[in-house]
Amino acid sequence: MRVTCPCCGERDYGEFSIYGDASRQRPHIDDTDFEAWYDYVYIRPNPKGRHQEFWHHIQGCRQWLVVDRDTVTHEVYGVALARDVVTLPDAPAATPEEAK
């Protein structure tokens, strides 16, 4: 599989580490709800189909990326720098304070 890094261009997927779902919403740091933190840390869905994931270009520019790909066919639909992705489809928009 080939992935086009926004900084380095087209690369083999072996240069990257996949860190999972990019659409998960982290509970607020002051949230004391045990279940919310438990779900965020330990409960991981295993989606089938098109999905956005965090990838780290460990053998290249070392940038964090959001890769939009199909988990069945491995077709890559798009790649963006994670720092440039403020909102994701089906996720609430971040406020300016949260985007910092």
Model pLDDT for residues 5-56, shown as the tens digit of each residue: 999 999 999 999 998 888 888 888 898 999 999 998 898 878 889 989 999 9
Question: Which pLDDT value is given to residue 21?
Answer: 86
- Asked if pLDDT for residue 88 goes beyond 60, the answer is no
Amino acid in position 11: R
Amino acid in position 21: D
Question: Which pLDDT value is given to residue 87?
Answer: 52
Quote the pTM value.
0.73
Q: How confident is the model at residue 92 (pLDDT cuts 50, 70, 90)?
A: very low
Candidates 19, 3, 24; CA nearest to 54 is 19
pLDDT in tens, 73-83: 999 999 999 99
Q: Name all domains of the chain by residue range, CATH numbers in brackets.
A: 2-99 (3.30.2270.10)
Give, for 99, the enclosing helix (H) or strand (E).
Answer: helix 96-99
- Asked if pLDDT for residue 99 goes beyond 80, the answer is no
